[in-house]
């Protein structure tokens, strides 16, 4: 991933872009005549670093070559720049950086599937082939209700609280991906009630190297407690659909049902061995230990007193 893409991804994730903006603001905002000699040193470093970053970015895009020249000039020679030079450099950087962010936001789209950045003229994601949305990063941060242009990566409009287009689109994409997983479940595992207990970020994967073909369904819940409740709820759904604890070690963590002589098994015992808010449920066609008709052996009549008297 190039620096340009990285900057954009960071801008979308928000935190890093804010950190960069803060760093630049700190370097740019103080009036030069208030900067003590020590601060000038630090600011010069910040200018050099930012200029380097802008140079690389310009290389990556080829679109800000002029700006890069200005930044290169701004980074200047190694010795201490004069106050006037610093002021000029700060001024140039200020407009450069602000201009860059806006320019990038208007010319970049983010893939709703893989999250990679692509230039605005692309219709399909170069990384994963997904159809790209029409909206650029800037469009995605522009409020549909009040029209305010928010910073890229913002979820809710800072002017009116409306959910922003990029956030709406991301939620739609996530919901579609989950729906596709549940559809695949219904096709591949028709005898197992499809998950209906909430969450997002779902996956259904075939576990490699197992004796019995075993599928793992995983789903992200908001909190570990919500995850526990969702799994409990799914056990209820299973039992309502005729699944039961069976065999030698009956437990509601392993529920079984025979469908046309085939044993269906849902394992929720190992749900939380990964993340506490990301349960993994295992589905396969194995028999319960000891079989469906397992009966506990009757306790043998002990010898004891009665045995001694009547034996
Ligand atoms: Zn993609
Ligand atoms: Zn708004």
pLDDT in tens, 145-166: 999 999 888 899 999 999 999 9
> What is the average per-residue pLDDT within 88-109?
76
User: Within 10 Å of residue 223's Cβ, how many Cβ atoms?
Assistant: 10
pLDDT of residue 148: 95
pLDDT of residue 306: 54
Give one DSSP letter per residue of 115-181, joined into a string. Answer: --EEETT-SB-TTT-PBPPS--HHHHTB-TTT--BPPTT-SB-TTT-PBPHHHHHHHHHHHHHHHHH
Q: Would the pLDDT of 241 be above 60?
A: yes
Q: What predicted TM-score, i.e. pTM, was given to this entire model?
A: 0.61
Q: Would the pLDDT of 90 be above 90?
A: no
Cα of 177 from ligand 1 centre, angstroms: 13
Cα of 104 from ligand 2 centre, angstroms: 22
Q: What is the pLDDT of residues 169-226, one digit of tens each?
A: 889 989 999 999 999 999 999 999 999 999 999 999 999 887 889 999 999 999 999 9
Cα of 172 from ligand 2 centre, angstroms: 20
Q: Is the dihedral of CA 177, 183, 189, 195 positive or negative?
A: positive
State what percent of residues in the chain have pLDDT above 90.
50
Nearest ligand, CA 148: 2
Question: Which residues are CB-contacts of 66 (< 8 A; sequence separation ≥ 6)?
Answer: none
Domain ranges of the chain: 3-140, 189-284
- Partners of 257 in the beta sheet? 264
CB 200 within 8 A of CB 230: no
Residue pointed to by tokens 């994409």: 173
Cα of 143 from ligand 2 centre, angstroms: 5
Question: Which residues are CB-contacts of 211 (< 8 A; sequence separation ≥ 6)?
Answer: none
- Partners of 280 in the beta sheet? 218
Nearest ligand, CA 125: 1
Q: Count of alpha carbons within 13 Å of 32, Cβ hemisphere only?
A: 12
> What is the average per-residue pLDDT within 3-31?
46
pLDDT of residue 116: 87
Strand order in the sheet with 254-259: 200-206, 215-220, 280-284, 262-267, 254-259
Nearest ligand, CA 156: 2
Q: What is the pLDDT of residues 45-85, one digit of tens each?
A: 665 666 566 556 555 555 444 554 555 555 554 556 677 77
Cα of 237 from ligand 1 centre, angstroms: 35
pLDDT of residue 23: 46
Convert 156-170 into a string of H (helix), E (strand) and C (coil): ECCCCCCECHHHHHH
Helices (H) and strands (E) in the chain, counts: 9, 7
Cα of 118 from ligand 1 centre, angstroms: 9
Q: Would the pLDDT of 265 be above 60?
A: yes
pLDDT of residue 65: 45
Cα of 151 from ligand 1 centre, angstroms: 22
Q: Would the pLDDT of 8 be above 60?
A: no
Nearest ligand, CA 127: 1
- Token pair in block for residue 137: 């990063």
Q: What is the pLDDT of residues 43-55, one digit of tens each?
A: 556 656 665 665 5
pLDDT of residue 36: 37
CA–CA distance, 22 with 16 (Å, rounded to integer) = 10
- Token pair in block for residue 252: 């509601």
Q: Would the pLDDT of 262 be above 70?
A: yes
Mean pLDDT of the chain: 79
């Amino acid at each position: 991933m190039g620096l340009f893409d990285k900057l954009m991804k960071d801008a979308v994730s928000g935190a890093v872009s804010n950190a960069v903006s803060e760093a630049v603001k700190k370097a740019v905002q103080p009036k030069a005549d208030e900067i003590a000699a020590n601060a000038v040193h630090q600011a010069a470093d910040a200018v050099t670093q930012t200029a380097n970053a802008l140079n690389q970015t310009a290389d990556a895009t080829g679109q800000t070559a002029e700006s890069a020249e200005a930044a290169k000039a701004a980074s200047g020679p190694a010795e201490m720049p004069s106050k006037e030079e610093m002021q000029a450099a700060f001024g140039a950087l200020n407009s450069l950086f602000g201009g860059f962010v806006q320019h990038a936001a208007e010319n970049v789209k983010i893939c709703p599937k893989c999250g990679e950045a692509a230039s605005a003229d692309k219709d399909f994601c170069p990384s994963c082939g997904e159809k790209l949305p029409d909206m650029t990063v800037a469009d995605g941060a522009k409020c549909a209700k009040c029209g305010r242009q928010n910073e890229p990566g913002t979820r809710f409009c800072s002017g009116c609280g409306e959910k922003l287009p990029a956030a709406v689109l991301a939620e739609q994409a996530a919901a579609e991906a989950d729906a596709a997983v549940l559809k695949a479940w219904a096709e591949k595992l028709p005898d197992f009630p499809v998950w209906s207990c909430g969450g997002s970020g779902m996956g259904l994967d075939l576990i490699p190297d197992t004796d019995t073909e075993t599928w793992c369904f995983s789903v992200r819940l908001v909190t570990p407690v919500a995850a526990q409740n969702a799994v409990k709820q799914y056990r209820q759904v299973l039992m309502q659909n005729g699944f039961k604890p069976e065999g030698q070690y009956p437990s509601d963590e392993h529920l079984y049902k025979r469908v046309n002589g085939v044993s269906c098994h849902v394992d929720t015992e190992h749900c939380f061995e990964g993340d506490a808010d990301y349960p993994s449920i295992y589905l396969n066609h194995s028999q319960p230990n000891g079989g469906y008709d397992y009966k506990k052996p009757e306790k043998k009549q002990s010898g004891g007193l009665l045995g001694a008297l009547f034996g």
